A and B are shown apart, each in its own frame.
Chain A
């Protein structure tokens, strides 16, 4: 697959790639509850990072701070060299470069699939309708459901809807893709079709942050795995390192619960 979306992973070594996300001492409180504690992370372009952790550990909250769906009180986030501040313009720019896929798909039920995908390219990237629709159709092909273009989301299965959601995010040609438990709401037989799309996307060089429980996917596709617990990063490392030789007690505890 050509590297439409990012860096050619096979040729560019990790050390020569740009830092595309920099998170520095990120802290977030919900009232008195300290949800994210001193989170530090640097993501290189083209990296696929899988975030694991028990529920309530703050992993979803964390990736939602990256595209400003959640606010934070202390620390800094820099995405694609844009600082995430209170500046509305910065936030808009960052959201153009980050695509998000939600657990409940969140497709717009009153629009056709084609319109769902082409809406933002037309009105945010300000591309012409013909260009946006062509991109939409190409993406539908890539995710494997070109024939659904004129249907409505209610007429598609869950797996198809999620693939449309991925195409919708990719239509903006973002540099980063954020996945918030993309397969958790799917019936088991549809999980594979979505994971396959994500695998292909990873191979093409897209930078991805994925919150998921799919361990097989993590082992196969991730460049790095991060374990979140109680709002902080407990352990971080290559899949082989984390799964086979976990260093921390909490990592071992978590892995023993799910594997």
Chain B
């Protein structure tokens, strides 16, 4: 036994600390140049990436951006009457208050959102193309976010008021725009640009949630008539392209409602709501299915009736389980609002299309659409980033 010689193995662990240069070398070796095949791949990819970036850089610096800078107002708020734009700034300030306070109260991911939006506002504030009045508002918003961060940080009791205010945010903003007797309403046919995108998306998201919830519960009902009606609706809507639902709303809705004239924007909102509700219903149904039967039985055994079982036991668990899927659906709604450009509404993309039709900007399409794409990208990326974070943080709470 004593004769067994152990082979001279290399030390597995380096007991001395690697200095930063060695760490870099090690990392490069493992991640980029592990073997000769990998090395070739790395070099080819690197060359390709550099070529791409160089071309992108050339484009960014050599182009004229007047197609965008001349039309900032149109792109963002459409044909909103100039003298009433203060209402939109007030809404933005209001949101800055909520955002800053929420950041202070909850910290965490809201900070990412606040900083990104603040950075975006800053970029627009610095641009020489923004009007001075707008700049004042922009910088006030940034300042508001920061100030209210500290307010929220030191007054944690604001949690519940914040939640209430966030829920009421859209109705309050719509009221400001509408006037409601105190001020002159701003008709929805002049809303345009990014404002219109936000409004349609928000209304669709908020209204589709209760409908989707009812559909999901109905689809799982044991009552056959209710179940099959819900299945019919869900499968019919999911089988159709969104553009068709928009067409049906535009062309047929007035006929269905007996000649009541509805605004184009309202018809689009209805279409998006009904469309999104069907997809939400499937997401929520997945959550409902994941609740073990024992939960339901335990609640029943305690004497809770079916409605109370739903409210207290089943729905809280089911909805929590499908928050990532639901947020994904909301992001889709936001992207899908761009489709109103096809039916002639002047949302962010639609306004871009109208601007592109101006002969003055012939040939500048890439600059215009790239900026539009970039703004969409920022918002969608931010939303999916937040969603991933929510997903991770919801895994907490078990031992």
A153-170: contact bitstring with B at CB < 8 Å (1 yes, 0 no)?
011100000000100110
**Roughly how many angstroms separate A98 CA and B301 CA in the complex, as a whole number?**
8
Instruction: Say whether B294 contacts A110, CB under 8 Å.
Output: no
Interface residues of B in 313-365 (CB under 8 A from A): 313, 316-317, 320
Q: Which of A140-179 contact B (CB under 8 A)?
A: 152, 154-156, 165, 168-169, 172
State whether B312 touches A119 (Cβ < 8 A): yes
- How many residue-residue contacts, CB under 8 A, span A and B? 67
| Neighbouring B residues of A100 by C-beta, 8 Å | 298, 301
Question: Would you list which residues of chain A between 88 and 145 have a CB under 8 Å from chain B?
Answer: 88, 92, 95-96, 98-100, 102, 104, 106-110, 119-120, 123-124
On whether the beta carbons of B298 and A102 are closer than 8 Å, the reply is: yes
Say if the beta carbon of B29 comes within 8 Å of chain A. no
Q: Are A123 and B298 in contact (CB under 8 A)?
A: no
Q: Which residues of B contact A88 (CB under 8 A)?
A: 305
- CB <8 Å contact, A172 and B303: yes
- Give the Cβ gap from B86 to chain A, nearest Cβ, in Å: 44
- Which of B294, B316, B320 contacts A104, CB < 8 Å? B294
B397 touches A106 (CB 8 A): no
B302 A119 Cβ-Cβ under 8 A: yes
Question: Which residues of chain A are within 8 angstroms of B320 by Cβ–Cβ distance?
Answer: 110
Q: Are B317 and A168 in contact (CB under 8 A)?
A: no
Interface string of B278-296 (1 = CB under 8 A from A): 0000000000000010110
A123 touches B294 (CB 8 A): no
Q: Could you tell me if A120 and B399 are in contact, using CB atoms closer than 8 angstroms?
A: no
The contact string, 1 if C-beta is below 8 Å from chain A, for chain B 23-53, is: 0000000000000000000000000000000
A207 within 8 A of B: no
Q: Provide the residues of chain A in CB contact with B313, threshold 8 Å.
A: 108
Is A67 close to B, CB under 8 A? Answer: yes
Structural contact, B298 and A152, CB atoms closer than 8 A: no
A179-203 residues at the B interface, CB under 8 angstroms: none
Q: In the bound complex, what is the Cα–Cα distance between A168 and B299 (angstroms)?
A: 11
Grouping DSSP codes into helix (H, G, I), strand (E, B) and loop, the B interface class, with mixed when no group exceeds half, is helix
List the A side residues contacting B305 at CB < 8 Å: 88, 92
Which A residues lie within 8 Å of B397 (CB)?
Answer: 152, 154
Would B297 and A106 count as touching, CB distance under 8 A? yes
Q: Is the CB of B316 within 8 A of A110?
A: yes
**Interface status of B398 (Cβ within 8 A of chain A):** yes
With A and B bound together, what is the CA distance between A16 and B294 in angstroms? 38
In contact, A123 and B304 (Cβ under 8 angstroms): yes
Q: Smallest CB–CB gap between A178 and chain B, Å?
A: 8
How many residues from B make CB contacts under 8 Å with A?
21
Are B294 and A169 in contact, CB atoms less than 8 angstroms apart?
no
Closest chain A residue to B294 by CB distance?
A106
- Whether A96 and B303, one on each chain, are in contact in the complex, defined by CB atoms closer than 8 angstroms, is yes
Is B388 at the interface (CB under 8 A from chain A)? no
Instruction: Give every chain A residue within 8 A of B297 (Cβ-Cβ).
Output: 69, 102, 106
Q: Select one of A104, A123, A155 contacting B308, CB under 8 A.
A: A123
State whether A92 and B303 are in contact (beta carbons under 8 Å apart), knowing that A102-B298, A152-B398, A154-B399 are contacts in the complex: yes
Closest residue of chain A to B317, judged by CB?
Answer: A110
Is B300 an interface residue, CB under 8 A from the partner? yes
User: Across the interface, do A155 and B398 meet the contact criterion of CB distance under 8 Å?
Assistant: yes
Q: Is B295 within 8 A of A106, CB to CB?
A: yes
Q: Are A124 and B302 in contact (CB under 8 A)?
A: yes
In the complex, are the beta carbons of B317 and A67 less than 8 A apart?
no
**Chain B residues near A95 (CB-CB < 8 A):** 300-303
- Separation of A106 and B320 alpha carbons in the complex (Å): 18
- Cα A123 to Cα B302 in complex, Å, equals 10
Q: In the complex the two chains form, what is the Cα distance from A106 to B292 in whole Å?
A: 9
Contact with A along B47-66 (1 / 0, CB 8 A): 00000000000000000000
Check if B317 sits within 8 Å of A120, measured CB to CB. no
A-B CB proximity, top 7 nearest: A154-B398, A106-B298, A120-B302, A100-B301, A106-B294, A124-B303, A95-B303
Q: Can you list 23 contacts pairing A with B, beta carbon distance less than 8 Å?
A: A69-B301, A92-B303, A92-B305, A95-B303, A98-B301, A99-B302, A102-B297, A102-B301, A104-B292, A106-B295, A106-B298, A108-B313, A109-B398, A119-B302, A120-B302, A123-B304, A123-B308, A124-B302, A124-B303, A124-B304, A124-B308, A154-B399, A165-B298
